[in-house]
Each structure stands twice: as structure tokens, then as C-alpha cells.
Structure 1
Amino acid sequence: MPDIMGEYVDRLVTVEMRNRGMNYGIVKQIYDAARAEGGGRPISARAAEALVATVKPGDVVFIVTGAGYAPEVPNGESDGPPGAAALARAIYWGLKAVPVYVTEECHAPPVIASSKAAAVMVREFELAKTRRMGGAIITAPEDRSITADWAREAVATYNPKAVISIERLGPNDQGIVHGSTGVAKNCVDLGHIFVAAKEKGILTVGIGDNGNEIGFGRIYDFMRDFHPYGRETQYPGGTGVISVIATDVFLPASISNWGAYGIAAMIAFLIKDQDVLQTPEMERKILEACLDAGGWEMRYCTSRFIVDGTAGESSMSIIQLLRDMLRLNLAAPDRGLSHGKMKETAQ
């Protein structure tokens, strides 16, 4: 049953909606490559099963996010923090664990605002850990020369049982972080968190939408040849935007937030609790909170109700469809009054 649900969750979150000026006509092929590399099963189901099997009440889960920088979007973009908040909601209310956001200082305001709108308060770590009073947040140092050591220390100190990346930019083979269209970004490399997690055998999950995010290292060779900026950048000497950081499970989506919603929906399905996934009305509040806190839409760098070029109502509709899928799949078998008796099936 999880594969039936996961099949259609994956289809829904990979419906491509992109302006032709961007990298377009690529989501299906990228998803197919990732699914084949992972063994052929629906990816949202695999990710949710791994999290449900690994994460126990009271455990810490890192959620790494943050994309977009000054001068265009000083506090980042509207794709990332809402998805992180949806995952935190599933982890906190569903798995009874402690979500800890990991990001840069500039991205913290929209992450915190999105989380609060998702009913996961961001508190001091000790309150979150010892009294289950919400989640927590840690921010990376601005000095990039110490990021690797900081990442190892953070993993050792907080001892996460899983680390999830959602729309977090990762380095290419030259150690440079890029936007999806070949523009270099002057930012901290949080891929070090995943390197440190791998050293300790910690479960890692990645969600991305355009090749430059953490997780795409799982299908690196394919992406190098397939992606429009797989081997080039918008400056001389660049070797492409594809991130070399791999995760244990990787879900490419049309919009990264949607991939996170799909995994949250599958967690809800596995634990049989539809309310783990936010409602469409809550999704509106999450997106508005993100935008108001500076996590703007990326195309024209404004607070319009938009995520990756799609209207906010589209994200609300994705949530509605996911919740209806949950409602129907979790309900007891029922034909109603007009379809006759159900066939008996072997148990």
C-alpha cells in the first residue's frame, strides 16, 4: 500500500510548471533517473519509511535549508522554509521528535516565521529537547574556513538521527555553490553537515529541484550530462552547477517545497494521522509568514504570493490534493450505497 500511495504522491509533486526562460522540460527525466538509481520504488515512500523506521520520540532531526542571497533576496526565497516547516511539523507532531533547523543567519527569519505558522514553535534547544516545547535552530558561522569543523561539532553535539536537506544549495566539484543557471553564490557550504553525518552513519534525505541542491550528488553523472548547466556556468572556468553532495535518499521535485510536502504526506500515511500534514489554510499562513519575514519569491525578488514562479494557491492546491489522497487511503473500505457488495479479498 505505501507504494501505491507513494506512486501518486511522486507524480503530483513532480508536475512541472516553469517559465521557458528557466531550465524547463527536465523534471520528469531527473525524477526517473533518481528513482531508477534508488531501486525503482516511489521515492517519497522510501524517504518516509526510512524516517519513520529511524526517528523515535525525543530524537533530534536536522532540517537544513536556505537559498537566495543579497542583494536580490537578502533573507532568501519562498522555496525552502515552508517545506522545512512542513517536515518539522511531521517530525514534531507525527514522530514526536525534535526538529532542529540548520541554516545561515540571513535565512533564519523566514525559517522561524514559517515554522511558527506551521505550529512548531522555535525555542531554545534545551526546552525543545527536554520538555518537547517545539523545535530549535542553529546557524552556521560566517567564517567559511571553520565550517567543516563546526559541522562535525554540531553533529557530535546534537546527535541527530536523521539529517534532511530541503532546497539547500550544495557545492560543485570545485567546491563552489551556484544558482541553478550558473551564477556563483557567495555563501557558506552546509554540505559539510552531510559529510559529517555520513561519517557517523546517520540517515540523510535530500530534496531539490534544479541540480544545484544538496542530494543531487546521488545522480551526479547523469546530471552533468543532462542539465543545461551541468558542465558550464555564466563565468569562465566553471565546471557546472551540479552539487556533489549525495544523500541516502534523494527526491527531485518540481518545486522543493512540494517534495517536502510529499514526504510529510507519506509520513502521515504511514502513521495514519492525516493532520500531521498542514491544511490548505495553514499553507497560506505559512507562505505568507515566509514572505513577510523576507523569504521572497525569487523571480522578481518581491513579496508577491508566489513560489518559484507558481501562484501560492497552487501550493495550497497541492496540499489539498495530498490531504484528499490521505483521507481516502486511510479510510475504511466503503463503496457507499450504490455499488453493491465488495469482493472479499485475502488478508
Structure 2
Amino acid sequence: MPDIMGEYVDRLVTVEMRNRGMNYGIVRQIYDAARAEGGGRPISARAAEALVGAVKPGDVVFIVTGAGYYPEVPNGESDGPPGAASLARAIYWGLKAIPVFVTEECHAPPVVASAKAAAVMVRDFELAKTRRMGGALITAPEDRSITADWAERIVTEYNPKAVIAIERLGPNDQGFVHGSTGVRKDCVDLGHVFLAAQRRNILTVGVGDNGNEIGFGRIYDFMRDFHPYGRECQYEGGTGVITTIATDVFLPASISNWGAYGITAMIGFLLNNREVLQTPEMERKILEACLDAGGWEMRYCTSRFIVDGTVGESSMSIVQLLGDMLRLNLAEPDRGLSHGVMKTAKVPEAAE
């Protein structure tokens, strides 16, 4: 059953909707490459199973997000924080664990606002750990020279059982972080958190949508050849936008938020708990909270009700469809009144 639901969850969150001025006509091929590399099973099902298997009540889970920078979107974009909030909801209310957001200081306001709208309060870590009062937040140091040591320290100190990236940009083979169309970004390299986790055999999961996000290193060679900016940038000497940072499980989606929602739905299925997935009405509140806190839509760099060029109602519809899939798959088998009595499986006779 997980693979049956996961198949259609994956199909839903990889429906491509992009303007032709951006990299388009690529999501299906990227998804197919990632699925084949991962063994062929639906990726949302694999990610959810890995998280449910690794994370127990009281454990810590890092959720790393944040894309978009000054001057266009000084507090980041509306793709990332809502997906992080959705997974935090599943981790907190479903797995009874402690979601800890890891991000840059500039991205913190929309991350915190999105989490609050998803009914996950961001509190002091000790309250979250000892009193089960929501999740917590870690912001990266501004001094880039100490990022690697800082990442080692927080992974050691917090001892997460999983580290998840949602729309978090990662470095290429030169150590530079880029936007998806080859523009270099001046930001903290949070890929170090994943490298520190992997050295300790901690589960890592990535969700991205355009090659430059953490996780795409899983299909690095394919992306280098396939992506329009796989081997070049919008400046001389750039070697492409594809990140080298891989994760244990990687789900490419049409919009990263949607991929996170798909994993949340699959966690709900595995836990037999419909409540972990936000409702469409809550999704509206999450998106609006993110936008109001400065996590603007990236296409026009405004607070319009848009995520990656798609209207907010489209994200609400994705959540509606995922919620109905979850409801129907968790319901007791029932043909209704018009289809007659269900067949019962024949039980083999016991051998004498």
C-alpha cells in the first residue's frame, strides 16, 4: 500500500507548471533519474519510511531551508519555509519529535511565521526538549570561515536523527552557491550540516526543484549533462549550478514545498493519522504568514499570493488532493451501497 499511494503522490507533486522563460520541460526527466538511482520505488514513500524508521518520540530532526537574498528578496522566498513548516508539523504532531529549523538569520522571520501558522511554535530549545513545547531555531553564523566547525558543533550538540533540506541551496564543485539560472549567490554554505550528519551516519533527506538545491548531488552527473546551466553560469569561469551535496533520499518536485507536502502525506499514511497534513485552509494561512513575514514570491519579488509563479490556490489544491488521497487510503474498505458485497479473500486450508 505505501508504494501504491506513493506512486500517485509522486505524480502529483511533479506536475510541472513553469513559464517558458525559466528552465522548463525538465521535472519528469529529473524525477525519473532520481527514482531510478534510488532503486525504482516511489520516492515520497521511501522518504517517509526512512523518517518514520529513524525518528522516535523526543528525538531531534533538523529542517534546513532558505533560498533568495538581498536585494531581490531580502528575507528569502515563499518556496521553502511553508514546506519546512509542513514537515515540522508531521515531525512534531505525528512522530512526537522535535523539529529544529536551521537557516540563515535573514530567512528566520518567514520560517518562524510559517511554522506558527502550521501550529508548530518555535520556542527555546530547552522548552521544546524538556517540556514538548513546539520546535526550535538555529541560525548560522555570519562569519563564513567558521561554518564547517559550527556545523560539526551543532550536529554533535543536538544529535539529530535526521537532517532534511527543503529548497536549500547547496554549493557546486567550486564551492559556490547559485540560483537555478547561473547567478552566483552570496550566502552561507549549509551543505556543511549535511556533510557533518553523513559522517555520523545520520539520515539525510533532500527536496529540490531545479538542480541547485541540497540533495541534487545524488544525481550530479545526470544533472550536469541535462540541466541548461549544468556546466556553465552567467559569468566567466563558472562550472554550473548543480550542487555536489547528496542526501540519502532525494525527491525532486515541481515546487519544493509540494515535495515536502507529499512526504508529510506519506508520513500521515504510515502513522494512520490524517491530522499531520495541513488542511487547504491552513495552507492558505501558512503561505500568507510566510509572505507577510518577508518570504516573498520569487518571480516578481513581491508579497503576491504566489509560489514559484503558481498562484497560492494551486498549492491549496495540491494539499486538498493529498488530503483526499490520505483519507481514502486510510478509510476502511467500503464499496458503498451501489456496488454489492465485497469479495473476501480465500484463506488456504491448513495442511494436515
TM-score, structure 2 length as denominator?
A: 0.98
| Equivalence for 2:350 | none
1:341: how far off?
A: 1.2
* Residues 301-312 of structure 1 mapped to structure 2, 5 A cutoff: 301-312=301-312
| Equivalence for 1:36 | 36
Per-residue deviation, residues 68-105 of structure 1 (Å, max 9, x unmatched): 00000000000000000000000000000000000000
* Residues 268-279 of structure 1 mapped to structure 2, 5 A cutoff: 268-279=268-279
Per-residue deviation, residues 176-235 of structure 1 (Å, max 9, x unmatched): 000000000000000000000000000000000000000000000000000000000000
1:33: how far off?
A: 0.1
CA separation of 1:346 and 1:109: change in aligned 2, threshold 3 A: farther
1:345: how far off?
A: 2.4
Aligned partners of 1:275, 1:8: CA distance in 2, in Å? 20
Residue identity in the other structure for 1:68: G
Aligned partners of 2:47, 2:79: CA distance in 1, in Å? 20
Aligned partners of 2:275, 2:313: CA distance in 1, in Å? 20
| Equivalence for 2:282 | 282
| Equivalence for 2:200 | 200
1:53 aligns with 2:53: yes
| Equivalence for 1:225 | 225
| Equivalence for 1:167 | 167
Residue identity in the other structure for 2:180: S
Aligned partners of 1:337, 1:296: CA distance in 2, in Å? 48
TM-score, structure 1 length as denominator?
A: 1.00
* Residues 86-235 of structure 1 mapped to structure 2, 5 A cutoff: 86-235=86-235
Aligned partners of 2:345, 2:254: CA distance in 1, in Å? 37
Aligned partners of 1:346, 1:266: CA distance in 2, in Å? 30
Larger Rg: 2
Residue identity in the other structure for 2:107: H
| Two-structure CA RMSD over aligned residues (Å) | 0.6
Aligned partners of 1:324, 1:87: CA distance in 2, in Å? 18
Residue identity in the other structure for 1:264: T
**Gapped regions of structure 1 (runs ≥ 5):** none
1:21 aligns with 2:26: no
Residue identity in the other structure for 2:141: P
Residue identity in the other structure for 1:25: G
| Equivalence for 1:244 | 244
Aligned partners of 1:343, 1:41: CA distance in 2, in Å? 29
Give the % identical residues: 86
Aligned partners of 1:88, 1:184: CA distance in 2, in Å? 30
CA separation of 1:275 and 1:21: change in aligned 2, threshold 3 A: same
Per-residue deviation, residues 285-321 of structure 1 (Å, max 9, x unmatched): 0000000000000011000000000000000000000
Q: Secondary structure at the match of 1:334?
A: coil
| Equivalence for 2:323 | 323
Per-residue deviation, residues 123-172 of structure 1 (Å, max 9, x unmatched): 00000011100000000001100000000000000000000000000000
Per-residue deviation, residues 26-47 of structure 1 (Å, max 9, x unmatched): 0000000000000000000000
Q: Secondary structure at the match of 1:154?
A: helix
Paired residue total: 347
| Equivalence for 1:12 | 12
Q: Secondary structure at the match of 1:323?
A: helix
Q: Secondary structure at the match of 2:86?
A: helix
Q: Secondary structure at the match of 2:25?
A: coil
Residue identity in the other structure for 1:31: Y
1:346: how far off?
A: 5.3
Per-residue deviation, residues 233-272 of structure 1 (Å, max 9, x unmatched): 0000000000000000000000000000000000000000
**Gapped regions of structure 2 (runs ≥ 5):** 348-352
Residue identity in the other structure for 1:251: L
Aligned partners of 1:8, 1:36: CA distance in 2, in Å? 16
